[in-house]
Amino acid sequence: MSPAPPVASRDRLRIAIQKSGRLAEPARALLASCGLSWRESRDRLFCYGETLPVDLLLVRDDDIPGLIADGVCDLGVVGRNVLLEQDGDRRGAGKPAAFRELRALGFGGCRLMVAVPDGWSWDGPAQLAGKRIATSYPALTAQWLARNGVDAQVVLLSGSVEIAPKLGQADVVCDLVSSGATLAANQLKPVETLLQSEAVLAGPVGEFDDVRGELADLLLRRLDGALRIKHSKLLMFQASRELLPSLLPLLPDAEAPTVMRIDGEDGLALQALCHGAVTWQRLEDLKRAGARGLMVLPVEGMLA
């Protein structure tokens, strides 16, 4: 197997994202929260980075892994399911790995699942031996079957997978599931999870050896900060020193708080970055434990 091709030199970082679809707007919003802004081309296929030399290419999500493999794009926001399916295709064809997941991005969550007719009593993967499985993810399905030692026929369909059993094309299906409503409408029930998927930032296997390496590192640092504070709040309050042992256990999801002495008083002021929900109930519990002057503030940015 030949090694992955070197990453071609370029002085701007190019990121591929969905032009339209459920990952498109969240991807733009997340990148914008990292301080990026763009000027969009007339054909709305390219966005030129204005605040940083980081451009966007707007494409179909299925094209993103291939664009990274070919060096057309440096990074991409794509579903893990698409990334791993195309990686499986490459490996099955004897090609080297050309892209990898760099960060999970926390949106676009779904599951790749096996679903069987409602009337089936599910006993495990061995029940699929000799059956036909309709799917748009043949590589991932075949890998799962092999791991479980099941000999079944994979039937490739590009769309409307859920209707395959009704049409006699397959016995069961393997497809993405979000709410499960589409499966239920076709008298199917999910029984096995092959993959937990979400949007990920993907990049090449090789490292950048030019200015894009610095830009990619900067972007990853900002992404880590943006993802960390997505559901974070800064909690501020005052309390007597002797009450700290009873107050700190009420902040299990907080980073080590900043504690400051209040001039002229025998008390302390605390600031704690909480990464979980700061609910009214939590505030009331803290107040009962002796906290006063409780304030909850949004966190606009964070860089470790």
Is residue 7 pLDDT above 70, yes or no? no
What is the C-alpha separation between 61 and 79, in angstroms, rounded?
Answer: 8
Q: What is the pLDDT of residues 173-189, one digit of tens each?
A: 999 998 888 899 999 99
> If you average pLDDT over every residue of the chain, what do you get?
90
Instruction: Please tell me the predicted confidence (pLDDT) of residue 1.
Output: 46
* 109 compared with 277, residue with greater pLDDT: 109
CA dist 190 → 103, 264, 291 (Å): 28, 64, 48
CATH of domain 233-298: 3.30.70.120
Tell me the whole-structure pTM to 2 decimals: 0.79
Q: What gap in Å lies between CA 160 and CA 119, rounded to an integer?
A: 21
For residue 299, name the pLDDT band (cuts at 50, 70, 90). confident
Do the domains at 13-108+199-228 and 110-196 have one common CATH topology?
yes
**What ranges do the domains of the chain cover?**
13-108+199-228, 110-196, 233-298
Q: How far, in Å, CA of 266 to CA of 138, rounded?
A: 67
Q: Whats the size of the chain, residue-wise?
A: 304
Q: Does the structure show a pLDDT above 50 at 69?
A: yes
Q: Which residues contact 265 (CB under 8 A, 6 or more apart)?
A: none
Q: Phi then psi for 267, rounded to 5 degrees?
A: -150, 175
The answer on pLDDT for 256 being more than 90 is no
CATH number for the region 110-196 comes to 3.40.190.10
Is domain 13-108+199-228 classified as CATH 3.40.190.10? yes
Residue 107 has pLDDT above 80, yes or no: yes
Residue holding tokens 């699942």? 113
